[in-house]
Amino acid sequence: MSDAESPESSPRHIRVEIAEAICTIRFDRPEKKNALTTAMYADVVAALRAALVDDDVRVVRFIGTPGLFTAGNDLGDFMSRPPADAEAPVFQLIAMLPDYAKPIVAAVDGPAIGLGTTMLLHCDLVVATARARLQMPFIKLGLVPEAASSLLLPSLAGLQRASEWLLLGDAFTGADAHSAGLVNRLVAPEDLESESLALCRALAARPPEALRQSKALLRAPLTAAIRDTMQREGAIFLERLRSPEALEAFTAFFSRPRT
């Protein structure tokens, strides 16, 4: 979810750059903390599909703007056009990530809220800064976890830490995420771009078919469980969107004083 309020239809604020066999997908809406609208999700899905069939692309990198990864869903856009089913762009993106054939690197600085955190569970390498602030505030909004985070986070960080981060929904730091194994490397903010790019270059230099098959082997044991969890989470998530608790939480969010 997000601290941003209102959607924008144009421009879409997703920049796609291809160079050195790396497709960089950059969240570029800093005035709204890089919060994601439906149109932005659709652009990310289109970029991922194009990169998948482009033989010149070997690695995908997600990155935001200085001091910002993404505040997750733009709540104004989200409530005006809530996802109705699995064809919604946000659910299309979530469905693509678990078995995406090419390696994905994420570079995280500042807020990484909602999907900004859960998507990291599906990335192959994650670089973050100490000032990264990760958060999964689903329950605060009367919702439930997404993107198989209810399965993957306990497996990665342990049940107690996963319970704290998901049930309380409070923010935690890049250092916390690093110690839990969610982040591979912790770097200074000024080194985030170069360090993430160096990892992408290293992956791009590996034999691509061996890389693809090795990634598939690493993820195969959990594939069925991830799909099953995503289906169950998604069904409950859509139900919760219409619940009195969610309506109350969203109403409170939009009614709070602005500074």
Banded model confidence at residue 21, pLDDT cuts 50, 70, 90: very high
Residues 6+ apart with CB under 8 A from 46: none
Distance CA 32, CA 28 (A): 9
Question: Biggest alpha carbon distance in the chain?
Answer: 54
Model confidence over 193-231: pLDDT tens digits?
Answer: 999 999 999 999 999 999 999 999 999 999 999 999 999
The pTM score is 0.93
Under 8 Å between Cβ of 110 and 68: yes
Residues 6+ apart with CB under 8 A from 197: 22, 61
pLDDT on residue 165:
98
Model confidence over 46-87: pLDDT tens digits?
Answer: 999 999 999 999 999 999 999 999 999 998 888 788 887 788
Instruction: Give the distance from CA 237 to its chain's centroid.
Output: 17
Instruction: Give the distance from CA 77 to its chain's centroid.
Output: 17
**Locus of tokens 């990335």:** 123
Distance CA 171, CA 16 (A): 29
pLDDT on residue 258:
64
Banded model confidence at residue 11, pLDDT cuts 50, 70, 90: low
Distance CA 147, CA 98 (A): 9
Distance CA 91, CA 41 (A): 9
- Neighbour tally for 27: CB within 10 Å: 23
CATH architecture of 14-191+208-255: Alpha-Beta Complex (3.90)
Q: Has residue 9 got a pLDDT over 80?
A: no
**Which residue has better confidence, 182 or 258?**
182
